[in-house]
Amino acid sequence: MLEYHFSAFLSLHRRFRRQCRARAMLALTASSAPRTAGWPVRAGQPPPCVVSVRAGGKKGKRGGAGGGALSTASSPERVDRLLSRLGYCARSEAKRWVAAGRVTMDGEPVKRADAKVVANDPRLSIDGEAPDHPNGILALMHKPAGVVCSHDPREGPSVYDLLPARWRGRNPRMETVGRLDKDTTGLLLLTDDGRLNHRLTSPKKHVPKTYEVCVDADFPPDAPAVFASGTLTLSGEAKPCLPATLRVDEASRRRATLTLVEGKYHQVKRMCESAGCVVTSLHRRSFGGMTLEGAAEPGQIRVVTKEELDRSIGDGEEGGRGDGG
């Protein structure tokens, strides 16, 4: 009986993962950019969606989402390193890829796995296509309920399982930008760019994040003022929450949008609890100016372009342009 339940759970879990991956593929294939090797990139050019901090970025430079951190420049690197960095194959397999002629420069097979190439070189191809986001990825996922933001398989189905296989093989690996709880749905960013991740989660950055929240009892009339006051200290915290905007639905006082400019542990749920309300559903609809447009269905994933990031996240201490929620 137990075995039956377990195998039924496993098959459900596998089906869920297949469905989510299929949706992710759908969102990616819907991109207007020409596609190569399954992912949208512009042949012969650095892909439009590239967000990079690895080369050419001047630390501290202002004017753009990542300040000087964003760049599409690239420096020479070994082919085997490039292949493993972008998730094509393990470094140990790279010789076989090269021997099979899968990596070409100007149409000619590259001869050695230790040959130096520049990832953005428009003459470089892997399996006939431009390298897959050679300078880093910023992806936006519509997180479904029931998946955790963790690499630990003991914690159950993970948002990382929903990524395309090649992205799962990238090194540095893809990491979530902050976390959403297992039961929370909505906008989740993931990137393999550690500095960008740090900038997006930095408490100094004050990026507004808007949540749609349902609770089990009416919000008290003073909740918006208390949340906005900057004096609400959650239990176990040394500092009060930064001012947050609570807009209670006039038709039902059990529904609201809440905009936070920080990300304390379980912050929405704990703030609502402090107002005597238990959260029954939670959905993040925006992060800075980024929304779920282009990833309307749970499980869908799209790439965030550098331009979208620049538009969506300011570079000042005062934070990015929210959706006004």
Query: At its nearest, how many Å lie between ligand URA and the CB of residue 69?
Result: 25
Rank residues 39 and 219 by Cβ distance to ligand URA and give the closer one: 219
For residue 173, give the amino acid letter: R
Among 93, 181, 249, 310, contact with ligand URA (rule: CB under 6 A): 181
Among 268, 277, 303, 313, contact with ligand URA (rule: CB under 6 A): 268
- Pull the structure tokens for residue 91: 């470094």
Q: How far is CA 282 from the centre of its chain?
A: 18
Answer for the pair 284, 210: CB distance below 8 angstroms, yes or no: yes
Rank residues 103 and 282 by Cβ distance to ligand URA and give the closer one: 282
Answer for the pair 167, 41: CB distance below 8 angstroms, yes or no: no
Query: At its nearest, how many Å lie between ligand URA and the CB of residue 89?
Result: 35
Rank residues 72 and 267 by Cβ distance to ligand URA and give the closer one: 267
Binding of residue 180 to ligand URA (CB under 6 A): yes
- First vs last Cα of the chain: how many Å apart? 49
Binding of residue 188 to ligand URA (CB under 6 A): no
Tell me how far apart the alpha carbons of residues 159 and 252 are, in angstroms, rounded to a whole number: 32
Query: At its nearest, how many Å lie between ligand URA and the CB of residue 181?
Result: 4
Binding of residue 259 to ligand URA (CB under 6 A): no
Catalytic residue among 121, 181, 183, 323: 181
Tell me how far apart the alpha carbons of residues 219 and 246 are, in angstroms, rounded to a whole number: 10
- Pull the structure tokens for residue 260: 């936070």
Q: Are strands 301-303 and 185-191 parallel, antiparallel or unpaired?
A: unpaired
Rank residues 167 and 211 by Cβ distance to ligand URA and give the closer one: 211
Is 161 one of the annotated active-site residues of the chain? no
Answer for the pair 85, 75: CB distance below 8 angstroms, yes or no: no
- Phi, psi torsion values for 167, nearest 5 degrees: -65, -30
For residue 196, give the amino acid letter: L
- Pull the structure tokens for residue 208: 């507004």
Binding of residue 205 to ligand URA (CB under 6 A): no
Among 146, 266, 311, 323, contact with ligand URA (rule: CB under 6 A): 266
Rank residues 36 and 259 by Cβ distance to ligand URA and give the closer one: 259
Query: At its nearest, how many Å lie between ligand URA and the CB of residue 203?
Result: 14
Binding of residue 267 to ligand URA (CB under 6 A): yes
Tell me how far apart the alpha carbons of residues 227 and 248 are, in angstroms, rounded to a whole number: 12
Active site residues: 181
Q: Which positions touch ligand URA (CB under 6 A)?
A: 180-181, 184, 266-269, 282
